[in-house]
Amino acid sequence: MAETKNTPVENKRTIEAEDRITGFWQKNSRNIIVGLAAVIIVAGGVAAYKYFIAGPKLQKSDEAIFRAENYFRMDSLQLALNGDAINPGFLKIIDRYSGTPAANLSKFYAGASYLKLGDFKNAEKWLKDFSTNSVQVNARAKSLLADAYAEQGKKEEAASLYIEAANAFEKDEFNAAEYLFRAGYLYESLGKNKEALDAYKSIKKKYPRTERGFEIDKYLARLGETN
């Protein structure tokens, strides 16, 4: 087979193309290298953050909240909130390990602790800032926040939140009935008898075998409902 040779014109085009490529690289090599380096640094930085910072932070926060929870279970609420000479309490965990699940859960515990201590404003503050995907814990948090509202005389807000707590986890019949009863009682104290009746009727219909269900007829009768 005969060897194919490039013509002078083709050689010239090839040389010009190579010159353009070489020229582009010479002009833009610094930007390209910087761009690639940035990508590498960002990717490496994310990995390094997860490995060297986020991981240890999560572990430390979990260890810290474990100790604070022990104080909470012992009803040593000041130690649970503020910690001891060695271990941080819920308030320090919230500040030191911000963004971690332990810090978020510490808000729930802090709110519950302040509620027990009678500091209802701080209870409201931390319970409002707490969030969860657990329907059971969410119901409990709403009920505690409702308690804090009720203790501050915010009866209507409390009653509404008790209804939300009851609806959040209806499978927990005992507590759902209790939350509905508290809502009805508060509405009754506000003269909102229709809302009170609705809450009491829900107990009779949904939770007749609970403690509140067994006694709900007398509260219905008090509001003129005898059926």
Share of the chain above pLDDT 70, in %: 74
pLDDT band at 41 (very low <50, low <70, confident <90, very high): very low
* Structure token digits, residue 26: 């010479």
DSSP string, 114-141: HHHHT-HHHHHHHHHH---S-HHHHHHH
Inter-residue long-range contacts of 64-71, CB under 8 Å, 24+ positions, other chains counted: 64/88, 64/92, 64/93, 64/96, 64/97, 64/102, 65/90, 65/93, 65/102, 65/105, 65/106, 65/109, 68/93, 68/106, 68/109, 69/109
32 in a structural domain: no
- Please check whether residues 136 and 165 belong to one and the same domain: yes
- Among 118, 152, 183, give the residue marking a domain's end: 118
Task: Answer yes or no: do 106 and 73 share one domain.
Answer: yes
196 closest CA partner among 176, 166, 225: 225
74 and 159 together in one domain: no
- Say if 9 falls within a structural domain: no
Residue 140, domain extent: 132-227
The whole model's pTM is what? 0.75
Q: What is the pLDDT of residues 183-212, one digit of tens each?
A: 999 999 999 999 999 999 999 999 999 999
Are 110 and 146 contacting, i.e. CB atoms less than 8 angstroms apart? Answer: no
State which of 118, 146, 181 marks the end of a domain. Answer: 118
Q: Contact 110/91 with Cβ under 8 angstroms? A: yes
Mean pLDDT (whole number) for 164-186: 97
Look at residues 56, 90, 118 and tell me which one is the last residue of a structural domain. Answer: 118
Same domain, 56 and 140: no
Verify that 65 and 43 share a domain, yes or no: yes
CATH number at residue 194: 1.25.40.10
Count CA atoms closer than 13 A to 150's CA, side-chain side: 21
Domain shared by 138 and 89, yes or no:
no
| Residues 139 and 180 grouped into a single domain | yes
Asked if residue 207 is part of any domain, the answer here is: yes
Model pLDDT, residue 225: 81
Pair 52, 76 in one domain: yes
Residues 157 and 224 in one domain: yes
Q: Ramachandran region of residue 136, left (φ > 0), alpha (ψ -120 to 50) or beta? A: alpha
pLDDT of 83-140, one tens digit each?
Answer: 999 999 999 999 999 989 999 999 999 999 999 999 999 999 999 999 999 999 999 9
- 2 located within any domain: no
- Give how many domains the chain has, as a whole number: 2
Does some domain include residue 12?
no
Question: Are residue 99 and residue 46 in the same domain, yes or no?
Answer: yes
Query: Same structural domain for residues 138 and 181?
Result: yes
Within-domain flag for 186 = yes
Cβ-based burial of 191 (10 A; exposed 0-12, middle 13-18, buried ≥19): exposed
Asked whether residue 19 is assigned to any structural domain, the reply reads no
9-36 residue pLDDT tens: 455 454 455 555 455 545 555 554 555 4
